[in-house]
Chain A
Amino acid sequence: MSVAANRAPEQERTVLVVPGMHCAGCMAKVERGLAGIPGVSAARVNLTARQVAVLHDAGVTTPALVDALAAIGFPAQPRVEDLAPPASAVKPLLAPLGVAGFAAMNVMLLSVSIWSGAAGSTRELFHWLSAAIGVPAIAYAGRVFFASAWGALKHGHTNMDVPISIGVTLATVLSLYETVTGGATAWFDGTLMLLLFLLVGRTLDAMMRDRARAGVDALLRQAPPGALVVGKDGSVEWLAAGQLVPGMVMRVAAGERLAADGEIVSGQTRLDLSLLTGESAPVAALAGAEVHAGTLNLDAPVDVRVTAAGQGTTLAEIARLMEASGQVRSAHVRIADRASRLYAPAVHTLAALSFAGWMIAGAGFYKSIVIAIAVLIITCPCALGLAVPVAQVVACGALMRKGVMVKDGSALERMAPIDRVLLDKTGTLTRGRPVPDPLVLASMGADDAAVALALASHSRHPLSRALVEALSVEGVSAATLEAVREEAGEGVRASWNGVEVALRRPGLAGGMASVLDIAGRPAWLIPFADSLRPGATEALAELAALGAPASILSGDNAAAVAEAARATGLDAVGEASPQAKQQAIAALQAEGHKVLMAGDGLNDGPALAAADASIAPGTASDVGRQAADFVFLGESLAAVPIAIRASRRTMAVVKQNFALAIGYNVLAVPLAMAGKVTPLIAAAAMSISSLIVIGNSLRLVRVAK
């Protein structure tokens, strides 16, 4: 029986999100680790999406796979289906790019011989061949632009794609006419090359958006909010946040975040509200207390009766505020579109003028229209189409290598003119999590530290986990313990070489602290505090030097904010509600300032959406990461001035690129209007101006230094 069952196992495919994978070594470890599990037949990592697809027998459960990955050091989560990655922006462009590339090269091959003097039937044959390749290729590869131009025209406005589409269509029609009538010049080569260059620019732009989105999605997908729901019969079941209904009772373990608003039914604990309000001091909560979604349970498990879920929660209220505050963003017109608004009418006027001029001069309809079309082709915004995306892609790549992810190119445009910075305190200016006092850790003996690490590793309490992290970094290895038991809300007890040891909360908990007891030795009181991010002082000084002075805008209590203000020397506003933060930004904007908001919490969401540009740390809440334009990984606050400086240099290069592209037009247009432009000149001018723009943009490779 077992033989038959083994021969035809039911194969299943599971996709896990593994945000910790970064390199070839990680890929190999994950793939080999999973392949080593009995019942797993294949595991394939997708590094771009930070996912691994596992092909396995039905007997292997998802938790088993997650545990196996955790054992080799990679926290993983099953992919949440409704958060599946949005369709890639690059993919639909690759096939048109391939076709345009193929056609441009082959038609150029034929054109070279025409330029070299092929005449008569050879030229006619080559024109027909060019048409046979060019017309279908233009129709296929040009769809990207035609569709976008048509969409803009239908809504009564114009974009960069309108002059492109008009130029390409007219040039194709003229070339076909020339081919059929056996004329001397056809423009298929130039038209195809134009499409190729423009598609390259478009693809680079899309690639940048995809990359940034992949990084942000990997962060977003790793924390599916939900709760353990206790049934009437005492059974427990994990439900996603969307399935929670008022009246249900959630069991929230220490170290978990609440998935819905509610009221504590049993148990007592302390809650960390920092993500929701910015308040840094833990708040005690007894049975009957009202609690909000997004708060972190610190001490002991509690049962919470849901009073509002989904649309009714404080979270949903914040989401509504954010929706209402995106006007600055939508009012921003990207620099490429601004340029094309000026450019398109200018080009079309020039073409019309040349036509009229030559008609008046008596050149005849045919010659006049040929010259007008030559003007359109030569002015087609080829270098202009590359000017923005190439610069932004290069800059985003440089920023990404520094751990700053850019959501899209317009973020760089909005970031460049920033002249005021508002910083949230908890989690942005500070690390947002408690760190054990390094002086106390340093003065502990090796034995004591080893016991502390061993005890702390048995608890999911946030303070214990902070202690594990701090001690592991210092290279302490855990002592061997026996009879370990965790008492919820009290601490962890165990025996170490026959001695009673414990890591517990202090008797009269004033601030945040843990006590390490080792029988026969004096007890250690380990205080925990939220500390400034590394590099904060330097980063703030640099912001001031960049002409973007910072101040603190926090929801935390006045005393804690005043302390941070003293430590950094900044102005500070405390106890600001999400609405107050939004109003503070609006007030600055009304004075003509361009405001950058740096924040992480749910309460910062509306402010992040309202500011001209926004940046959030990678440790921020989902809302914060989604609302922010930039997300910086890593601890250091230096990412903020780096992002501002990189944006400014990028915009400087974009403007140089525009100047180069327009300078080329200033040279080429008089030639075209004089009727002196041949397909050869058009092709050469187009490639040279594009190469110059690309070369200029590549100077941004080191922009994020």
Chain B
Amino acid sequence: MTGLALLIPIALGLGLFGLVAFFWALRTGQFEDMDGAAARILIDEEGDGLP
């Protein structure tokens, strides 16, 4: 029973953390441009000087 008392809050806390992180992402507009986010990773930031 003592194991449960520890593990259940941990499990719920982790889940809650994920939920809060999701709401944070939602609020800071990270779902505004799904296509752009997928494409942005392909942009070569240091590529300017290369031929």
Q: Which of A's residues lie within 8 Å of B, judged by CB?
A: 23-25, 27-28, 32, 45-49, 90-91, 94-95, 98-99, 102, 105-106, 109-110, 122, 129, 133
Bound state CA distance, A678 and B42, in angstroms?
Answer: 50
Given A94-B26, A106-B15, residue A48 in contact with residue B44 (CB < 8 A):
no
CB <8 Å contact, B31 and A23: no
Q: Is the Cβ of B33 less than 8 Å from the Cβ of A47?
A: yes
**Do residues B23 and A24 form an inter-chain contact, with CB atoms below 8 A?**
no
Known: A95-B26, A109-B11, A122-B4. A27 touches B39 (CB 8 A): yes
Asked if B8 and A129 make an inter-chain contact with CB atoms under 8 angstroms apart, the answer reads yes
Contacts of A105 in B (CB 8 A): 15
Q: Top 5 A-B pairs ranked by shortest CB distance?
A: A47-B36, A24-B42, A24-B39, A102-B19, A47-B35
Which residues of chain A come closer than 8 Å to B16, judged between CB atoms?
A: 102
Give 1 or 0 for each of B26-42: 1 = CB within 8 Å of chain A CB: 10000111111001111
Q: B50 contacts the other chain (Cβ, under 8 Å)? A: no
- Rounded to whole angstroms, the CA-CA distance of A560 and B8 in the bound complex is 78
User: Known contacts A24-B42, A27-B40, A98-B19; is A49 also within 8 Å of B33 by CB?
Assistant: yes
CB neighbours (8 Å) of A90 from chain B are 31
**Chain B positions near chain A (C-beta within 8 angstroms):** 1, 4, 8, 11-12, 15-16, 18-19, 22-23, 26, 31-36, 39-44, 48
5 extra interchain contacts, Cβ-Cβ under 8 A, other than A24-B43, A48-B34, A106-B15?
A: A27-B36, A27-B39, A94-B31, A102-B18, A129-B8
What are 24 contact pairs spanning A and B, CB under 8 A?
A23-B42, A24-B40, A24-B41, A24-B42, A27-B36, A27-B43, A46-B33, A46-B36, A47-B36, A48-B35, A49-B33, A90-B31, A95-B23, A95-B26, A98-B19, A98-B22, A98-B26, A99-B19, A106-B15, A109-B11, A122-B1, A122-B4, A129-B8, A133-B12
Task: Kindly state the separation between the CA atoms of A95 and B26 in the bound complex, as whole angstroms.
Answer: 8
Contacts of A27 in B (CB 8 A): 36, 39-40, 43
A48, B36: Cβ atoms under 8 Å? Answer: yes
Tell me the bound Cα distance from A47 to B43 in angstroms: 13
Interfacial chain A residues near B43, Cβ < 8 Å: 24-25, 27-28
Taking chain A's interface residues, is the majority helix, strand, or loop, or is none over half, making it mixed?
helix
Least CB distance from A572 to B in Å reads 41
- A-chain residues with CB within 8 Å of residue B26 when the two chains form the complex: 94-95, 98
CB-based contact A48/B33 at 8 Å: yes
Q: Whole-angstrom distance between the alpha carbons of A48 and B34 in the complex?
A: 7
Residues on A with beta carbons closer than 8 Å to the beta carbon of B18: 102
For B34, the closest partner residue in chain A by CB is: A48
Residue of B nearest to A121 (CB): B1
Asked if B15 and A47 sit within 8 Å, CB to CB, the answer is no
Residues of B within 8 A of A49 (CB): 33
Query: Are B31's CB and A91's CB within 8 A?
Result: yes
Interfacial chain A residues near B23, Cβ < 8 Å: 95, 98
Across-interface contacts of B42 in A (CB, < 8 A): 23-25
A94 proximity list for chain B (CB < 8 A): 26, 31
Task: For the complex formed, measure the closest distance between the CB of B46 and the CB atoms of chain A, giving whole angstroms.
Answer: 12
Cβ contacts under 8 Å, A102 to chain B: 15-16, 18-19, 22
Give the shortest distance, in Å, between B38 (CB) and chain A (any CB). Answer: 8
B8 to chain A: closest CB distance in Å?
7
Smallest CB separation, B29 vs chain A (Å) = 10
Chain A residues, Cβ within 8 Å of B15: 102, 105-106
CB distance from B11 to the nearest CB of A (A): 6
CA distance A102 to B35 in the complex (A): 25
Nearest CB of A to B47, in Å: 8
Closest to B48 in A: A32
Contact of A45 among B36, B41, B44 (CB under 8 A): B36
Q: Using A95-B26, A102-B18, A105-B15 as known contacts, say yes or no to A46 and B32 having CB atoms under 8 A apart.
A: yes
Inter-chain contacts of A98 with B (CB < 8 A): 19, 22-23, 26
Give the docked Cα–Cα distance between A90 and B15 (Å): 23
| Chain A: minimal CB distance from B12 (Å) | 6
A47 touches B4 (CB 8 A): no
CA distance A129 to B11 in the complex (A): 12
In the bound assembly, the distance between CA atoms of A25 and B43 in angstroms comes to 7
Contact (A47, B39) CB under 8 Å given A28-B44, A106-B12, A109-B11 = yes
Contacts of B41 in A (CB 8 A): 24
Alpha-carbon separation in the docked complex, A95 to B20 (Å): 11
Bound complex: CA of A24 vs CA of B47, how far in Å?
A: 13
Quote the shortest CB–CB distance from A133 to chain B (angstroms).
8
Residue of A whose beta carbon sits closest to that of B31: A94
A90, B22: Cα distance in complex, Å: 15
A89 to chain B minimum Cβ distance, whole angstroms, is 13
Chain A residue with Cβ nearest B19? A102
Instruction: Report how far A360 CA is from B21 CA in the complex, Å.
Output: 52
